[in-house]
Chain A
Amino acid sequence: MSVGHSDVADSGHEEHAQHPAYHGHQFDDMAQQNEAASLGMWLFLLTEIMFFGGFFLGYSIYRSHYYDAFVAGSHHLDIFWGGFNTVVLITSSVTMAFAVRAAQLGNKKHIQLFLILTLILGFAFLGVKYIEYSHKFHDHLIPGYDFIWTGKGNPRHVQLFYGFYFGMTGMHALHMIIGAGLLIWLLVRVSQNVFTTEYYAPIENFGLYWHFVDLVWIFLFPLLYLIGGLHE
């Protein structure tokens, strides 16, 4: 019955040409399948743009209304860690791009190397977030918990700034955590030799997701950490 390929699903394949298991029946060929998968991920990312867009919208309204308080709140953030994390994420996007390239070339060792590098950089980012958040906790800057503000600006407005800070960076960090989980899953599948030069769409489309998470941070960093210039 199934001659040649060991990875061909058996059921009902007598009537048409055999094809690998990763080729879904609803697609004429792999080119169409890959295009559809890619477009699907892009469309999901568009919903994510609208999702984070809502956050940015709220932020922009309140920043324009309570500018001094937002400046005061922003000055208390650590630009070093914010900048460090920006470089970490940009680097992780490069390693992820190299991972996809390795998949295109069918180089399993390189796929694993670059996926692991991406994962390590992702963990580095999350580690820094933990450092920053624990500083905020010690400085009584958790909105609605034990928020105390004795510096410049109306404390209620500054608390609003920190609401946006934790909401936006927290939601971003959640996306990073999910990404880290998916990276581990991808690494398992790579080790199982699931991917070929014809079928690597999960790696490519995860790359799109990972780049998107980087994009969100590219906007978060200047808008949260760099408001109002020099710290006094």
Chain B
Amino acid sequence: MAEHSEHTQHSHHIATPGSYLAIFAALIALTALTVFVAFIDLGIINTAVALAIAVTKAVLVILFFMHLKFSPNQTKLAMVAGIFWLMIMLIITAFDYVGRGWQPDPGGWQPF
């Protein structure tokens, strides 16, 4: 095994334990925040805040735990493209339903 070339075959960034633990702390804090804010009645804002916190947690996991920040640009582009595709599905389908002009359901209609 020692005959292999000395340099590592990846231009791979090896994270420090401290950085992982810092991200861990942030994720736990954001989870606590999600639960806390859920119990405050902000009306329609509740959902927006919950999603914003979830997206922040997702970004932290993707960039640092999944190492996307230190990955080749091709990989980053693939991820961006995937999210773009997901957004097409969610947003344009939402347009479809909202644009139908159906009567509100007895169960109470909320935009989200």
Contacts and interface: CB of A to CB of B under 8 A. Distances in A.
Contacts, number: 153
Nearest to B50: A222
B112 A50 contact: no
A4 interface: yes
B35 A98 contact: no
B96 to A, nearest CB: 9
A154 B107 CA distance: 7
Nearest to B82: A46
Instruction: Give the contact-size bracket for chain A.
Output: 35 or more
A186 to B, nearest CB: 17
Q: Give the dominant DSSP class at B's interface.
A: helix
Contacts of B94: 60-61
Contacts of B40: 229
Interface string B54-76: 10011001101110000110110
Interface stretch (A125-133, A143-151, A171-179, A207-215): A207-215
A64 B109 contact: yes
Interface string B74-97: 110011011101100110011001
Interface string B93-112: 11001000000011111111
A182 interface: no
Interface of B: 1, 3-4, 8-12, 14-15, 17, 20-21, 23-24, 27-28, 31, 34-35, 38-41, 46, 50-51, 53-54, 57-58, 61-62, 64-66, 71-72, 74-75, 78-79, 81-83, 85-86, 89-90, 93-94, 97, 105-112
Contacts of A45: 82
Interface string A83-115: 100110011011011100100110000000000
B10 A53 contact: no
Contacts of B83: 49
A194 B39 CA distance: 50
A144 to B, nearest CB: 20
B41 A230 contact: yes
Contacts of B112: 60, 63-64
Contacts of B21: 94
Interface stretch (A33-41, A116-124, A162-170): A33-41
Given A35-B74, A229-B40, 16 more contacts: A34-B10, A38-B71, A46-B79, A46-B82, A46-B85, A50-B89, A63-B110, A64-B111, A65-B105, A90-B28, A93-B27, A97-B65, A101-B14, A104-B8, A196-B1, A222-B38
A198 interface: yes
Contacts of A142: none
B61 A215 contact: yes
